[in-house]
Structure 1
Amino acid sequence: MGQGFGLGNALGDGLGDGSLESPKQEPLRSVHTTSFPKLLNEIGASVLVSTYQAGKLIICRSEGETLNTHFRNFNRPMGLAANKQRLIIGAATQVHEFRNFPEVGKSVDETGRTDACYMPRTSCVTGDIDIHEMALGTEGLWLVNTRFSCLCVLDGWNSFVPRWRPPFLSGLSNEDRCHLNGLALVDGKPKYVTALGETDTRGGWRANKKSGGILMEVPSGEILLRGLSMPHSPRWYNGKLWVLESGEGRLSIVKPDFSGTETVAEVPGFTRGLDFVGPFAFVGLSQVRETAVFSGIPITERLTERICGVWVIDTRNGKEVAFVRFEDAVQEIFAVQVLVGTRFPDVINDDWKLIGRSYMLPNEALKDVAPPTPPEEGADPEKEDKSVKPDALLPESPSE
């Protein structure tokens, strides 16, 4: 595919949900290869990217031959779990769930391009548990609770419900003792996790972050692989276990006997966030700042200039296919999620007028909806009370 470039400008267009520390409102720009929107067109997809550092959800969608990067504000968004019907975002102290109201998209975008419109349904307050990766499994939503070093679920009542933790931990503690961060499901159940250390003290993983990373099996708790450099984003795909060796800036495959990893591609950034479509891997890259957390790891020694963006790698040969690079305000990203079957989605998180007049009802209730009352003769349409006029009455979402 071609490697030409396109240049895009975008400004955040949503209000945040209340931030403990608001990110600076700097210009948000992106540069991309012409092959990036072309690939999205070919696979019929869009890409969601979370950046906790900039406080944004980035929606990457094809607009002809260029890439449209659309920004929505959230309070420290990290983990993402999404499909055509649902979008779930793990933020600083809450988990936000959105549902696709496709009919609302018609009122958002008169051009008819918007083919999915995610509207807020619920928010669950978790407290500051430092949510990292999330995944939708056969038993619902799983969260990596990094603050308490465990896998957990939500029940709508408690802050979280712990389900599993590494056996080398002596108990639950909000001290980020091993920096549990990544989760891979197999057949809809948690199977593999990554952590930055095999430690049981407050922030103990920091002492050997360069090579103290581990890959573990769930639920046995067996450590399958040691000596990794800040591993993230384990994934089971096409019969192989993939992992990002973030400290090395690599996309790798774990050897079947767990004796090590095989490098598929080396990219110019700290790798974190991974999704697959066909033979293509969508890999998140971060610049990583010169802080104590990231100092001394291989990639900061190998590259003086690191890039933030999403790289697309052909897993058959390790070649770069396309990329989008974020500039200025966006320097670190966390999650990358490809939405197949949705080319031009939108997420509504702050248009309260639109949210207030959009409704989703059960199928049975829709049968009982009365036709709208016709306006009085001679009434001025400009003065018509539209406060309860629905933009869309939608049936309940089909099961996924």
Structure 2
Amino acid sequence: MQDKKLSELAATIADPARHDPGDAPISISAGLADWMLAQKLSLAFTSYQTGQLIVAGVGPDLRLSFNQQQYARATGLCYDRGRLIVASMFQIWRLENMLRPGHYANNAFDMALVPRTAHTVGYLDTHELSVDTAGQIIFVNSRYSCLATIDDVHSFRPVWQPKFISALAPEDRCHLNGLAMDGGRPRFVTLAGISDEKDGWRAIRQRGGAVIDVASDEVVVSGLTMPHSPRVHDGALWLLDSGRGQIVRVDPANGKQDDVAFCPGFLRGLAFHGNWAIVTVSLAREDKFRELAIQEGLEERGLAAKCGVLIIDTRTGNVDHSILLGGKFTEMFDVALLPGVRNPMTIGPATVDMIGAVTIGNPAP
């Protein structure tokens, strides 16, 4: 990464208003609140272009409730046993629920997520992340082409790297971006192109993307275009073939691929709830869709690209529900489900509310 780029990122921190979405219009599909109540869950999602963490639930008035906070270049999300892990530009945050069971904040929110730790990792272009069986945060370090975990002294400790990556250098050689866990261990990763050169993936991103099995180091799916967000669900490997706009299911026994649903926008972030896939979609950067197959898919269907969250029935490929964002929102990143939570709220790390968010834990033994 050139110093100029780092300077641009630093300017974002110095002046968050540059990406303040303001009062952006939100379009909600009919029946979404009822669906969330019936499924007993709420949502968290990120927009790294505006630097927003957004949570959505159902308020006491039975209407959708949204809460958003500023996290510079917010990317990967992981909800783990009541806490939310959020990746941002140069830090990984751990948010804890400060409410005791049965308590409510402002007589409306049954979860109040407060930032308690921030691991400063520097600019690694952190993408997706998760928590393993040992409680370690495992994250995709795209800039250094590896999986990594946090370290008390250093920016990161490498956990795994593709066998074709000869050195850990800040060169985004293959654009490693997605992580699938299975049984609490890293199982699959997605990358945009098999390359050992700086930004080498950019020249081969058309059908150059792949899924790699972390345990065997072998390519298990190839010929993809800008793939993201591999997941193990219901006995299959799922992924987003983002350059084509498709949610794809792969049979791990024979490698057979099936397109499950076309989505109107660039796909990142994938979560499952039963037969539903929840994804985020984004608009094109400048006119970059013209270089990808997704543009043909949009034109064939007479669709325009959207920005927001889609809830898709994997049995039919239909979009059952959606949250569409307008205004300054153009790009989304990740989505996480908060099961058993009706109406969450968050407190931002650089807010007045954070100063007064004081709670008392159990006395030390």
State the partner residue of 2:317.
318
Residues 25 and 184 (structure 1 numbering): CA distance in 2 closer, same or farther, change over 3 Å?
closer
Residues 249 and 103 (structure 1 numbering): CA distance in 2 closer, same or farther, change over 3 Å?
same
- TM value normalised by structure 1: 0.81
CA distance in 1, matches of 2:241, 2:335: 16
Q: Deviations over 1:225-257 (max 9, x none)?
A: 110011100000111111111111111101334
Question: Could you tell me whether the CA contact under 8 Å between 1:84 and 1:100 is conserved in 2?
Answer: no
Q: Which residue identity is paired with 1:117? A: A
State the partner residue of 2:198.
202
Q: Deviations over 1:112-137 (max 9, x none)?
A: 22001111211111010000000112
Q: Deviations over 1:291-327 (max 9, x none)?
A: 55x5411113332621011111112222221111111
Q: Which residue identity is paired with 2:87? A: G
Counterpart check, 1:186 vs 2:182 = yes
Counterpart check, 1:100 vs 2:121 = no
CA distance in 2, matches of 1:203, 1:360: 48
CA distance in 2, matches of 1:357, 1:327: 31
State the partner residue of 1:138.
133
Q: 2:72 aligns with which of 71, 75, 79?
A: 75
Residues 149 and 284 (structure 1 numbering): CA distance in 2 closer, same or farther, change over 3 Å?
same
What are structure 2's unaligned runs of at least 5 residues? 1-11
CA distance in 1, matches of 2:62, 2:16: 39
CA distance in 2, matches of 1:162, 1:254: 28
User: How many aligned positions are there?
Assistant: 347
CA distance in 2, matches of 1:49, 1:105: 25
CA distance in 2, matches of 1:233, 1:202: 23
State the partner residue of 1:155.
151
CA distance in 2, matches of 1:20, 1:156: 28
CA distance in 1, matches of 2:102, 2:14: 26
Q: Which residue identity is paired with 2:307? A: C
Aligned pairs for 1:341-360 (under 5 A) are 341-349=340-348, 350-352=350-352, 354-356=354-356, 358-360=358-360
Question: Could you tell me whether the CA contact under 8 Å between 2:104 and 2:110 is conserved in 1?
Answer: no
Aligned pairs for 1:270-289 (under 5 A) are 270-289=266-285
Aligned pairs for 1:116-131 (under 5 A) are 116-131=111-126
Counterpart check, 1:28 vs 2:24 = yes
Local SS of the residue matching 1:47: strand
State the partner residue of 2:236.
240
Shift of 1:65: 4.7
Larger Rg over CA atoms: 1
Local SS of the residue matching 1:151: strand
Local SS of the residue matching 1:328: coil
- TM value normalised by structure 2: 0.89
Counterpart check, 1:91 vs 2:88 = yes
Shift of 1:277: 1.2
CA distance in 2, matches of 1:20, 1:223: 40
CA distance in 2, matches of 1:102, 1:77: 24
Structure 1 window deviating more from structure 2 (314-323 vs 46-55): it is 314-323
Structure 1 window deviating more from structure 2 (190-199 vs 54-63): it is 54-63
Residues 352 and 164 (structure 1 numbering): CA distance in 2 closer, same or farther, change over 3 Å?
same
Shift of 1:142: 0.5
Share of identical aligned residues, percent? 35
Shift of 1:24: 4.6
Q: Deviations over 1:177-236 (max 9, x none)?
A: 000000001100001000000001111001121211100001321011110011100000
Shift of 1:18: 5.0
What are structure 1's unaligned runs of at least 5 residues? 1-15, 368-400
Structure 1 window deviating more from structure 2 (59-68 vs 208-217): it is 59-68
Q: 1:264 aligns with which of 254, 260, 264?
A: 260
Structure 1 window deviating more from structure 2 (254-263 vs 185-194): it is 254-263
Q: 1:301 aligns with which of 272, 296, 301?
A: 296
CA distance in 2, matches of 1:62, 1:175: 43
Local SS of the residue matching 2:154: coil
Residues 59 and 78 (structure 1 numbering): CA distance in 2 closer, same or farther, change over 3 Å?
same
Q: Deviations over 1:129-160 (max 9, x none)?
A: 00000011203211000000100001222100
Question: Could you tell me whether the CA contact under 8 Å between 2:307 and 2:332 is conserved in 1?
Answer: yes
State the partner residue of 1:172.
168
Q: Which residue identity is paired with 2:32? A: F
Q: Which residue identity is paired with 1:314? A: D
Q: Which residue identity is paired with 2:91? A: Q
Q: Which residue identity is paired with 1:130? A: D
CA distance in 2, matches of 1:105, 1:232: 38
CA distance in 2, matches of 1:105, 1:327: 35
Residues 20 and 345 (structure 1 numbering): CA distance in 2 closer, same or farther, change over 3 Å?
closer
Counterpart check, 1:113 vs 2:108 = yes
Q: 2:43 aligns with which of 40, 44, 47?
A: 47
RMSD: 2.2
CA distance in 2, matches of 1:259, 1:329: 40
Local SS of the residue matching 1:205: helix
CA distance in 1, matches of 2:162, 2:208: 15
Q: Deviations over 1:252-302 (max 9, x none)?
A: 10133454420111111111111111221111111122255x541111333
Shift of 1:26: 4.0
Question: Could you tell me whether the CA contact under 8 Å between 2:80 and 2:131 is conserved in 1?
Answer: no
CA distance in 2, matches of 1:21, 1:126: 24
